Structure 1
Amino acid sequence: MTHDVAHVQEFFGARAAGWDARFPGDDPAFAVGVAALGLRTGDVVLDAGCGTGRALPVLRAAVGSSGKVIRADITREMLEAGARTGRGRAGTLLLADVARLPLRPESLDAVFAAGLFGHLRQPAENLREMARVVRPGGRLALFHVIGRAALAARQGRPLTKNDLLEETNVRPLLRSSGWQLASYADEDAYFLALAVRQS
């Protein structure tokens, strides 16, 4: 897929209205991904590339009423589709690119990035930007509701060792971007690379 901003916005903008209906059974997988972040009551978490906000209920429950969920997406139609479901009331919405987050340095406890990684134009730079806004010791979850093999099959492409989310590729990429890979799971039911922000 092309990683050009306009192309990403066009692709997801055209699909926003029916996005949730396409993936009705994903809630349990989101619960697994969010649980791995180890969020605590009062934490501040960014849902990066949040789309319609399908992870929002689980993120909101994890940080409680004293915590904060910030939802950022580059596609206005996705944010609007999520708002129509009522999800917009449970988190702060940002129309923003993860390449330039309008957030203060070290202002977050964690970042949840579901289905985002394959759409990043500059993965190393984007990971560095996410590291910039997370406190040392904070966490990042690179997540997908299906594993890499299932995702490649869905997209009609072969799964190769050159895939950036292959463990031997993502580990040094994270390290060079301010993160340390803490755990890696590539199951049929989900993909999760959990990283910790280095000081």
Structure 2
Amino acid sequence: MDDERTHVRDFFTERAAGWDSRFPGDGPAYASAVGLLGLRPGDAVLDAGCGTGRALPFLREAVGPSGTVLGADLTPAMLREAVLAGRDRYAALLLADVARVPLRDAALDAVFGAGLVSHLAHPEAGLRELARTVRPGGRLALFHPIGRAALAARHGRALTADDLRAEPNIRPLLARSGWRLDSYTDKDDRFLALARRER
């Protein structure tokens, strides 16, 4: 595992036990974002970088009992918290690096990624790997329960032009990775970039 992935794993390992209690009111934002992903009963969806699995109940509700929900995360401690919270009832959990997803080509209808893109060691390669796993025309949601400015303020820093999630940066990044950005929302209460897998 390279240094950047080790850093990400260590960062989340230290915070896993108290992660959900830090953000207790995020459920409605997750539900809303999943609703906008356009999932249908029977679909197959991956929560990439699922963490403690906060999106998994909403993804399961969207695809129904005939659908497939997978949650993949690099950090064993986060997956343990997902199990302790009972979220393994909604999805199969995988200890996996998003840069090397153990799925065949075009196996999925959609990918959901909460807080994902800024934690990818190599964003373009990671997004390209996710594109590989999604059928042509399938969807990607890059989500955060608060917008870029609110998140920067939470961390005591200012937004900069090189922020990966800024629309002028994320649109070409997605295009180079096999996705077309369909919609972009960056408000105080939500960041959501919805993209479609190019045919």
Return the TM-score normalized by structure 2.
0.97
Q: Secondary structure at the match of 2:112?
A: strand
Matched, 1:129 2:129: yes
Q: SS at 1:99's partner residue?
A: helix
CA shift, 1:121, in A, is 1.0
SS in 2 for 1:192: strand
- What percentage of aligned pairs have identical amino acids? 64
Distance 1:136 1:41 in 2: 18
RMSD: 0.9
**1:15, distance to aligned residue in structure 2 (A):** 1.1
1:17, 1:121 → 2: CA distance? 23
What secondary structure sits across from 2:100 in the alignment? coil
Q: Could you tell me how far apart the structure 1 residues matched to 2:5 and 2:170 are?
A: 23
- Write out per-residue CA displacement over residues 77-107 of structure 1, whole angstroms, 9 at most, x where no aligned residue: 0001110111112201110011100000000
> Partner of 1:23 in structure 2?
23
* Aligned counterparts of 2:155 and 2:133: Cα–Cα separation in 1: 32
Residue 20 of structure 1: how far off its partner (Å): 0.7
Alignment of 1:144 onto 2:144:
yes
Give the CA deviation at 1:7. 1.3
Deviation of the 1:125 alpha carbon: 0.6
Q: Over residues 5-34 of structure 1, what are the superposed CA-to-partner deviations in whole Å (9 max), with x where a residue is unaligned?
A: 111111111111111111100001001110
Aligned position for 2:66: 66
Quote the offset at 1:155 in angstroms. Answer: 2.0
Amino acid aligned to 2:192? L
- Kindly provide the amino acid, as one letter, of the partner of residue 110 in structure 2: A
- Name the CA distance, whole Å, in 2 between partners of 1:93 and 1:43: 17
Hey, what's the Cα distance between the residues in 2 that align with 1:4 and 1:45?
A: 26
1:53 corresponding residue in structure 2? 53
Question: Over residues 19-57 of structure 1, what are the superposed CA-to-partner deviations in whole Å (9 max), with x where a residue is unaligned?
Answer: 111110000100111011000000000000000001111
What is the CA-CA distance between 1:190 and the residue it aligns to? 0.5
**Which segments of 5 or more consecutive residues in structure 2 lack a partner in the other structure?**
none
Alpha-carbon distance between aligned partners in 2 of 1:7 and 1:167, rounded to the nearest angstrom: 26
1:83 equivalent in alignment to 2:83: yes
Residue 10 of structure 1: aligned partner: 10
Aligned with 1:4: secondary structure?
helix
Number of aligned pairs?
197
- Residue in structure 1 matched with residue 169 of structure 2 by the alignment: 169
C-alpha separation in 1, matches of 2:181 and 2:85: 34
Matched, 1:115 2:115: yes
Runs of 4+ in 1 over 2 A off after TM superposition: none
> Which amino acid letter does the alignment assign opposite residue 132 of structure 2?
R
Deviation at 1:136, TM superposition (A): 0.2
Structure 1, unaligned stretches of length 5 or more?
none
Deviation, structure 1 residue 157: 2.0
